[in-house]
Amino acid sequence: MNTHEPKIRISGVTKRFGRKTVLEDIDMSVAKGRKTALVGPAASGKTVLMKCISGIHVPTRGTIEIDGVRVTKAGGRDHTRLMQSVGVLFQQGGLFDDLPVWRNVAFKLTQTRGMAEAEARETAIEHLAAVNLPPETADLFPGELSGGMQKRVGIARAMAGDPSLLLLDEPTAGLDPITTRAINRLIDDSIRGTGATVLSITSDMEAARHDYDDLYMLHEGRIVWHGETAAIDASDNPYIRQMIDGKAKGPIEVVV
Ligand SMILES: Nc1ncnc2c1ncn2[C@@H]1O[C@H](COP(=O)(O)OP(=O)(O)OP(=O)(O)O)[C@@H](O)[C@H]1O
Ligand SMILES: [Mg+2]
């Protein structure tokens, strides 16, 4: 895996909130043009790591580079430029409640690329169609959508502007199996031939194993396994085995 050119390179990243250490000395290389899954039990630090990559959190220690460019504090001009080619789906949706759906989807197109309103609306409607949402959805407000529809709008927004890097936090959690398949296919379609890179957090271990090339597993803020998904079956790493088998017994303590 390390022979691939890295799209994202993370070196020695530690993240603390006050005295609580959430990420500890993370080294990670996300290969360009490939799909990487980030898995791990609840509260293992997956979302915090993704927020460090997208510049929302600043690591306490260590560095993160995208295309060799250091991810700097949010607000910097370099950061804005860097993020123009990154599509992000937040776990909690993160839609603007006071903007209609199409403006949410087209936000990056109108705000940072200066696309004209009519064209941006058309483009938004195309991206909505790709996630199985009809054109009428465009003029609704996020509060008028079901949870699954909000998730699909979030994905449409992440895809807008043909990003070279997609950061997706649980793209299919809580969706029905048909939409889940459609979304997984959409992610594949959107990167086929474009050379785009995908990093997805997922709890769907079946999808992680079969739809992704590489996998990193976090546990209590540390990487406990990484490699090509093709190598998972042969691995006797107790963390990855427990994650695959979904057993309560193992190194991962299940807190209920
Ligand atoms: N802003 C914050 N301030 C303090 N602690 C935080 C903050 N954000 C996250 N944490 C803590 O960091 C830990 C990891 O959270 P994170 O959201 O990354 O988990 P996760 O792996 O994404 O879990 P899940 O699968 O449930 O989404 C948790 O203990 C959480 O309480
Ligand atoms: Mg999370």
Nearest ligand, CA 218: 1
Question: 101-128: buried (b, 16+ CB within 10 Å) or exposed (e) per residue?
Answer: bbbbbbbbbbeeeebeeeebbbbbbebb
pLDDT of residue 129: 92
Q: At what angle do helices 117-130 and 147-159 cross, to 10 degrees?
A: 120
Tens digit of pLDDT for each residue in 223-234?
A: 999 999 999 999
Q: For ligand 1, say whether the CB of 255 is within 6 Å of any of its atoms.
A: no
**Ligand 1 pocket residue status of 202, Cβ below 6 Å:** no
Per-residue confidence (pLDDT) for residue 121, from 0 to 100: 97
Which residues of the chain fall below pLDDT 70? 1-2, 72-76, 256
CA of 20 to the centre of ligand 1 (A): 11
Residue nearest to atom 27 of ligand 1 (CA): 42
For the Cβ of 44 lying below 6 angstroms from any atom of ligand 1, the answer is yes
Closest residue CA from atom 1 of ligand 1: 17
Instruction: Please work out whether the CB of residue 48 comes within 6 Å of at least one atom of ligand 1.
Output: yes
142 lines ligand 1 (CB under 6 A): no
Q: Tens digits of per-residue pLDDT, 210-225?
A: 999 999 999 999 999 9
> Which secondary-structure segment (H or E) carries 4?
none
- Inter-residue contact 176 to 148 (CB < 8 Å): yes
**Ligand 1, atom 24: closest residue by C-alpha:** 42
Q: From atom 18 of ligand 1, which residue's Cα is the shortest distance away?
A: 45
- The DSSP code sequence of 61-90 is EEEEEETTEEP--TT-HHHHHHHTTEEEEB
41 Cβ inside 6 Å of ligand 1: no
Per the CB < 8 A criterion, the answer to whether 206 and 215 are in contact is no
Q: Is the dihedral of CA 33, 66, 173, 256 positive or negative?
A: positive
* Residue with CA at minimum distance from ligand 1 atom 20: 43
Q: Which fold has domain 1-85+196-256?
A: Rossmann fold (3.40.50)
Q: Whose CA is nearest to atom 6 of ligand 1?
A: 17
What distance in angstroms lies between residue 40's CA and the mean position of ligand 1's atoms? 12
In the chain, where the domains are located: 1-85+196-256
117 CA distance to ligand 1 middle (Å): 37
The candidate with the shortest Cα–Cα distance to 59, out of 98, 110, 23, is 23
